[in-house]
């Protein structure tokens, strides 16, 4: 009996290790003529957002499909959980839909996770899901299910800018299979070094709120446990003490022990507090104990959509921060 139990435990450990080592797979590159769904995963957008985003997608050569509940309004959410879930499930199950573009963030994405299940995402989720802010919850779930996801501007920005806008073109190129290389200005708080790892992160409040969910938290110790991580984060409207508390949550969970590089995005709509003039000053202090990893400040990920590069969540990249204070590079690998 003891041998049987030991064998079962060893088999379970082997399966867990295999799951942790399994690759986070990129969706197939989009081609001209592919269907791209436009839907509202979280909050209700303005009435014209979906149509204007669809027009840009069409100019890129894709076939946009606007989902039925895109402008529904249920207490500020784009429909009830069941309505939003029906749109997202339809997109996932349709093999002709190669990408899903959210119209906006807001609130409510995490409500869809439990009824979706990790197994459903693992089976049907190998397609780009585009969004940021509240859509971070979906990105986290996708990575846990083994699929890369795309932290990027949503329907509001896409549709209010031209098809040849520089950020729109960056998004189009990633959708069509290009692995980006970003070069950004140095910052006085940067710490030099180089690191390669799986890029995860997004909106700090959102991934903090789903912390501890083994099925959906890409920072849980059982997800990507054997991987080196490059962590990026940004936020809007959160005060300095609250962001400091969220960083403490990362520390006590043991996340920072696995982080090999940090990308600090832009924090917007906050006021000086607790003796700190800026969010960057507080984060510089909190990151000081991690002196052996590269850190980049003011990287272009933020709620300022003009400063928001597409980030492949779950993709492998190299972060290089030079010692001379010069430009920082983030290079995604094939």
Domain boundaries, the chain: 35-175, 181-332
Q: Cα separation of 241 and 283, whole Å?
A: 10
In this prediction, residue 9 carries a pLDDT of: 32
In this prediction, residue 224 carries a pLDDT of: 85
**Three-class DSSP category at 210:** coil
> Distances in Å between the alpha carbon of 183 and those of 12, 128, 130, 156, 176?
43, 24, 22, 25, 21
C-alpha dihedral sign at 36, 152, 180, 208: negative
The torsion angles phi and psi of 25, rounded to 5 degrees, stand at -90, 140
- Class of the CATH domain delimited by 181-332: alpha beta
Q: Tokens at residue 146, please?
A: 């083994």
Which segments of the chain does DSSP mark as H helices, in order? 2-21, 49-59, 81-93, 113-116, 118-124, 136-144, 155-160, 166-175, 204-209, 240-252, 279-287
Q: Which residues contact 64 (CB under 8 A, 6 or more apart)?
A: 35, 36, 37, 38, 53, 54, 55, 57, 58
In this prediction, residue 59 carries a pLDDT of: 98
The torsion angles phi and psi of 157, rounded to 5 degrees, stand at -75, -45
Tens place of pLDDT for every residue, the chain, 334 residues?
444 333 433 334 443 444 445 789 999 999 999 999 999 999 999 999 999 999 999 999 999 999 999 999 999 999 999 999 999 999 999 999 999 999 999 999 999 998 999 999 999 999 999 999 999 999 999 999 999 999 999 999 999 999 999 999 999 999 999 999 999 999 999 999 999 999 999 999 999 999 988 899 999 988 887 899 999 999 999 999 999 999 999 999 999 999 999 999 999 999 999 999 999 999 999 999 998 999 999 999 999 999 999 999 999 999 999 999 999 999 999 8
In this prediction, residue 21 carries a pLDDT of: 55
- In contact, 251 and 220? CB cutoff 8 Å: no
Model-level pTM?
0.93
SS (H, E, C) 126-169: CCEEEECHHHHHHHHHHHHCCECEEECCCHHHHHHCCCCCHHHH
In this prediction, residue 221 carries a pLDDT of: 81
35-175 and 181-332 share one CATH topology? no
The fold of 35-175 is Rossmann fold (3.40.50)
């Amino acid at each position: 009996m003891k041998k049987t139990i030991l064998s079962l435990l060893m088999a379970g450990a082997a399966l867990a290790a295999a799951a942790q080592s399994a690759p986070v797979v990129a969706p197939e590159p989009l081609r001209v003529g592919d269907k791209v769904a436009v839907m509202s995963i979280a909050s209700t957008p303005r009435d014209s957002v979906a149509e204007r985003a669809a027009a840009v997608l069409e100019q890129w050569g894709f076939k946009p499909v606007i989902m039925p509940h895109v402008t529904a309004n249920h207490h500020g959410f784009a429909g009830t959980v069941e309505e939003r879930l029906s749109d997202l499930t339809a997109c996932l199950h349709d093999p002709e839909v190669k990408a899903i573009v959210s119209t906006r963030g807001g609130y409510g994405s995490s409500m869809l996770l439990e009824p979706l299940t990790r197994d459903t995402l693992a089976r049907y989720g190998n397609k780009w899901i585009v969004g940021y802010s509240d859509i971070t919850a979906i990105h986290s779930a996708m990575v846990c299910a083994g699929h890369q996801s795309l932290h990027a501007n949503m329907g509001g920005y896409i549709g209010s800018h031209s098809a040849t806008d520089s950020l729109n073109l960056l998004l189009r190129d990633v959708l069509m299979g290009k692995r980006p290389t970003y070069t950004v200005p140095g910052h006085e708080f940067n710490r030099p070094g180089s690191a390669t790892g799986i890029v995860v992160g997004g909106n700090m409040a959102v991934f903090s709120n789903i912390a501890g969910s083994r099925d959906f938290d890409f920072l849980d110790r059982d997800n990507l446990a054997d991987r080196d991580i490059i962590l990026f984060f940004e936020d809007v409207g959160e005060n300095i003490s609250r962001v400091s508390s969220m960083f403490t949550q990362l520390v006590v969970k043991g996340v920072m022990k696995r982080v090999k590089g940090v990308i600090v995005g832009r924090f917007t709509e906050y006021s000086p507090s607790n003796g700190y003039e800026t969010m960057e000053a507080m984060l510089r202090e909190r990151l000081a104990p991690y002196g052996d990893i590269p850190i980049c400040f003011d990287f272009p990920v933020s709620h300022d959509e003009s400063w928001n590069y597409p980030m492949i969540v779950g993709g492998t990249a190299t972060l290089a921060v030079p010692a001379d204070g010069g430009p920082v590079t983030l290079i995604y690998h094939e």
